[in-house]
Structure 1
């Protein structure tokens, strides 16, 4: 992304995180004259040990000099987790890989990974690249979500599908929560590959085509490995509960494995078994 876009993203991120911190949680009185939620800029500056003017400029997205040590203080003041810290540093410093390969060689599924994918018979599993392009899935995923084989390869982007396919909206009990998990992963990549202009083009495309995207994007968290509980309402078997666990595949590829594990003490695995039996 270009410098202007990067600094705008930094500004939005800082404002969002500041607004989510309750004053009393940071050691300040709640007060009755606060016009906006969260901390004031000067309070963040005080916690970070920087001047209010400098922090204001940082939050406004001005092109100012920053150092890692000062960003550490800002990250601590805003109570950022590890993924959010990395995101802050990438946006503020403009550092990161320019364009990691996304060709077939770096998106291919090895025989061992394919074996793992198929062995997860009762866990719908999706393999995607750093742009959330789906490159592999198992039969359980095809039965719970959709038959990805029927979608042209170039259109198998998970973020885009979440907003364009009615199947996902009908499936998710809380569609926004479902989308939020993937946007958290996508935002982590967005910060990691801050110099790759593809992300800026994709985000602008989604904002232009899907009004809901902009709101959810601005509200999204930053997480390379969200662990969330999702409720699906499958047309054939009814309510299903899954824990989403997402992790990066080891090796020199930039692939991610998203596993939907049936929630314990639910009938989800039994229902999934019935879905699979119908296709055998």
Structure 2
């Protein structure tokens, strides 16, 4: 994924979604050849020349300053995730076309102990390209047992987009899968030469028409906190709230903690999930004997 091509497509997508009226520009006739803003209008709003902005959008060899990027981000009304993505894409060009070797990420033993200390929260650690690096027992009950999967399959975006079990687990699957695509695109912009990311994007593009459509939208998303609905095969419907924490001293590693929403139904379902997971016998390697929501192994009957 060459940075100049990605930057060009992202800028075109960004200006296409903004109407002149919303940008406070005067009406200049009803007929417009392009949707959204014209290049000269973005240049005007950003305070740069049309020629300079055109070269930037065409992905030609220009090195915009921080001030120019800030002005362009303001003109295009980028949200914080899109703002960061723009700066990633406009960074220094690699000196060669060769992709860098994959980075093998590992969770420090102390961090894993910290993760396992959460007994009332489901917790897991994501690395680059949404690789699942570690999980605790409640996360393995709520989600698939990623630690029991082959190493290449321990990826949250891949599971959500390709596994039918994810569609059953998430009533709002399309929204969540689209967000995962946007998260992956942001990571790809941050690490454009990562071979594993390129392989994952290629696999998803081949196997998922939804992914191809969402990837072409160029949307980016930085997941920091939020709420999700689950339809769990054991405890039924529950809503969870989550919060993300960047791990100091660990580049590209994020801890996610899940708690049940405050409605009584979710609280009761969560207690039942915790009770059920605690009874599951442990197996070598620290994972439970069930495969949780992955659908790879049959669950016991639903507990009503």
Corresponding position of 2:106: 107
Determine helix, strand or coil for the equivalent of 2:180. helix
Corresponding position of 1:264: 262
Q: Deviations over 1:93-151 (max 9, x none)?
A: 3358x859733xx412432x234323433432221212322121122222222222431
CA distance in 2, matches of 1:196, 1:81: 25
Max Rg structure: 2
Change in CA separation of 1:203 and 1:33 when aligned onto 2, cut-off 3 Å: same
**Structure 2 unmatched runs, 5+:** 280-304
Structure 1 runs of 4+ aligned residues shifted over 4 Å read 29-32, 34-37, 98-101
**Structure 1 unmatched runs, 5+:** none
Question: What's the TM-score once normalised by structure 2's chain length?
Answer: 0.78
Tell whether the 8 Å contact from 1:241 to 1:266 is kept in structure 2 after alignment.
no
Corresponding position of 2:291: none
1:191-270 superposed matches below 5 A: 191-219=189-217, 221-270=219-268
Change in CA separation of 1:20 and 1:166 when aligned onto 2, cut-off 3 Å: same
Corresponding pairs, count: 273
Tell whether the 8 Å contact from 1:231 to 1:239 is kept in structure 2 after alignment.
yes
Q: Deviations over 1:25-59 (max 9, x none)?
A: 31125774346543232221110112333323322
Tell whether the 8 Å contact from 1:127 to 1:137 is kept in structure 2 after alignment.
yes
Q: Once the 2 structures are TM-superposed, how far is the Cα of residue 89 of structure 1 from its aligned partner? A: 2.3
Corresponding position of 1:163: 161
Corresponding position of 1:6: 3
Tell whether the 8 Å contact from 2:18 to 2:37 is kept in structure 1 after alignment.
yes
Q: Once the 2 structures are TM-superposed, how far is the Cα of residue 74 of structure 1 from its aligned partner? A: 0.9
Structure (1 or 2) with the greater helix fraction: 1
CA distance in 2, matches of 1:93, 1:25: 29
Determine helix, strand or coil for the equivalent of 1:246. strand
CA distance in 1, matches of 2:244, 2:81: 14
Change in CA separation of 1:245 and 1:40 when aligned onto 2, cut-off 3 Å: farther
Q: Once the 2 structures are TM-superposed, how far is the Cα of residue 263 of structure 1 from its aligned partner? A: 1.9
Change in CA separation of 1:143 and 1:84 when aligned onto 2, cut-off 3 Å: same
Change in CA separation of 1:19 and 1:153 when aligned onto 2, cut-off 3 Å: same
